[in-house]
Amino acid sequence: MSKTIDFYYDYASPASYLAWTQIYKIAEKHGATVVRKPALLGGIFKSAGNQAPMNVPAKGRWLNQDIQRFVERYGIDFKMNSAFPINTIYLMRGALYARREGFIEAYDKACFEAIWVNDKNMGDPAVVTQVMLDAGLDPKGIGASMQDPEIKKELFEVTAEAVDNGLFGMPAFIVDGVLHWGQDRMDFVEEAIS
């Protein structure tokens, strides 16, 4: 039977970007299905009593180099974002709208690449509009969804579900009820779906 990978992510997180570049290839190789769970990293940190790694200066310095080593290993494009950290609450709401409307794949790609390849400040609504236009997506519908009470509630719910499932950071993966945290644990995810 085909396995399912719940993939929790936030565009704000460079490690979520790294995971996004790899997890679909891994899933495809083993005939597994990825279920997208866009959630709010800040909300998870707060609920779990955790903090961003970059809040510990020495950890932040190491992490920047560690990310670069994985970028080379994966052979992907990456540029640290000049506006980091970006508040992604509006973008994550848009992701849930995109998921509902069936264009989440294109939306994920537009957001992740804007932030982590093209150094766009996606905290700026004008930049978001342009990025959506460039991706062939509808900035009006997406923009409206970012103020939609139902979508707001849904983001709250997915984030609460993440915490209920044991998350304390992202990216994270759940396979058969087991939590794997971090883009550096995709080998365990692969073992779990093999």
Pick 55 or 118: Cβ nearer a copy of itself? 55
**Strand 178-181 relative to strand 172-175: parallel, antiparallel, unpaired?**
antiparallel
Strands (E), the chain: 4-9, 33-38, 172-175, 178-181
State the Cα–Cα distance between residues 138 and 159, nearest whole angstrom. 25
Q: Are 33 and 27 in contact (CB under 8 A)?
A: yes
Shortest distance, CB of residue 128 to a copy of itself, whole angstroms?
32
Pick 54 or 104: Cβ nearer a copy of itself? 54
How far is the CA of 103 from the CAs of 29, 36, 109, 132, 137, in angstroms?
23, 12, 10, 12, 8
Shortest distance, CB of residue 56 to a copy of itself, whole angstroms?
5
Q: Which of 14, 94, 123, 169 binds a copy of itself (CB under 8 A)?
A: 169
Shortest distance, CB of residue 135 to a copy of itself, whole angstroms?
35
Tell me: does residue 75 bind a copy of itself (CB under 8 A).
no
Tell me: does residue 78 bind a copy of itself (CB under 8 A).
no
Minimal CA–CA distance to 44: which of 90, 23, 13, 21?
13
State the Cα–Cα distance between residues 124 and 115, nearest whole angstrom. 12
Tell me: does residue 56 bind a copy of itself (CB under 8 A).
yes
State the Cα–Cα distance between residues 193 and 23, nearest whole angstrom. 12
Q: Which of 52, 54, 66, 160 binds a copy of itself (CB under 8 A)?
A: 66
Q: Which of 50, 121, 129, 130 binds a copy of itself (CB under 8 A)?
A: 50
Tell me: does residue 74 bind a copy of itself (CB under 8 A).
no
State the Cα–Cα distance between residues 47 and 75, nearest whole angstrom. 35
Q: Which of 31, 85, 125, 166 binds a copy of itself (CB under 8 A)?
A: 166
Tell me: does residue 163 bind a copy of itself (CB under 8 A).
yes
Q: Which residues bind a copy of itself (CB under 8 A)?
A: 48-50, 55-59, 61-62, 65-66, 69, 163, 166-169, 178-179, 181, 184-185, 188
